[in-house]
Amino acid sequence: MRLGVHVSISGSLSAAVDNAVERECSAFQIFTRSPRMWTAKDIPDKDAAEFRQKLSASKIDRFATVAHMPYLPNLASPNAATHAKSIAVLIKEVERCGKLGVPYLVAHLGSHLGEGEGKGIKQLVSAFTKAASVKNDVVILLENTAGQKNSVGSDFDQWAEIFSQLKPKDRFGVCFDTCHAFAYGYDLRTEKDVSATFKKFDDAVGFENLKILHLNDSKGEIGSNLDRHEHVGLGKIGEKGMTAVVKLAAKKDIPVILETPIDNVRDDFGNLRKVKELVA
């Protein structure tokens, strides 16, 4: 099973590989730059080469590495200026991933800001279509949302509707976040619930399109629309549900990435150990 966490790039991009190796990861996720800024300096050739070299020298499968979009862009925004600015960041991130040799880029689907789901979906399709024109092989992964007000892509059928409009097909996939699905209203608390929820997912979106799974427990109750991640097994999904999800991902050979808190309860090492215990 390919398992890891979101790791820091503090110091250098290649430090992310060191951090992943230190945590005994077989998968990992990064931001390629500060996630709280609109702009970023270009990646120097030397830094990109160092990242690729360290990754190649590690035992981590390149196809279990993924980058995440920064927080500020809203690809579903009805505001023309914000939408254009968000597309520019998306395109730049696709280019940065290509330079680093990272095959996947996870993108949040954003908010239509009250202008309606139809408008939000139209804006998303436009943004992703433009980003797919970048001449590399980076695959953009659409991540499900927790159902916050004005968000799009929480319901599996709507997620599938967005995904079905994207071309070329080989440039797109999806990233399933367990906390987001649960917060929207999909039950994941028992093995039976997990089986039923992923059957709905498969019927709508398709397992063949699932490239990365974000394994996060939830601080909020089912249907709360609260995007608050909790330590694996200690949230409202709980240990039974987390175990069932982990075993399903292992069976399907889908890389699993944790985006769990780091606090006095557990750190990355503790959550990774917990997941390995669940699989065992």
Is 83 assigned a catalytic role? no
Q: Identify the active-site residue in 23, 108, 112, 231.
A: 108
Q: Is 71 a catalytic residue?
A: yes
* Strand-pair category, 229-230 with 217-218: antiparallel
| Catalytic one of 2, 112, 171, 214 | 214
Q: Does residue 108 have an active-site annotation?
A: yes
Active site residue 177: yes
Catalytic residue among 18, 50, 259, 267: 259
Distances (CA, A) of 175 to 82, 213, 225: 24, 6, 18
Q: Is 189 a catalytic residue?
A: no
Choose, from 71, 203, 273, 277, the residue flagged as catalytic: 71
Which of the following is catalytic: 177, 217, 230, 268?
177
Q: Mark whether 68 is an active-site residue.
A: yes
Active-site residue flag, 143: yes
231 is catalytic: no
Q: One of 2, 33, 68, 189 is an active-site residue; which one?
A: 68
Active site (annotated) includes residue 229: yes
Q: Which of 180, 189, 231, 266 is catalytic?
A: 180
The catalytic residue among 143, 155, 217, 230 is 143
The residues carrying an active-site annotation are 36, 68, 71, 108, 143, 177, 180, 214, 227, 229, 259
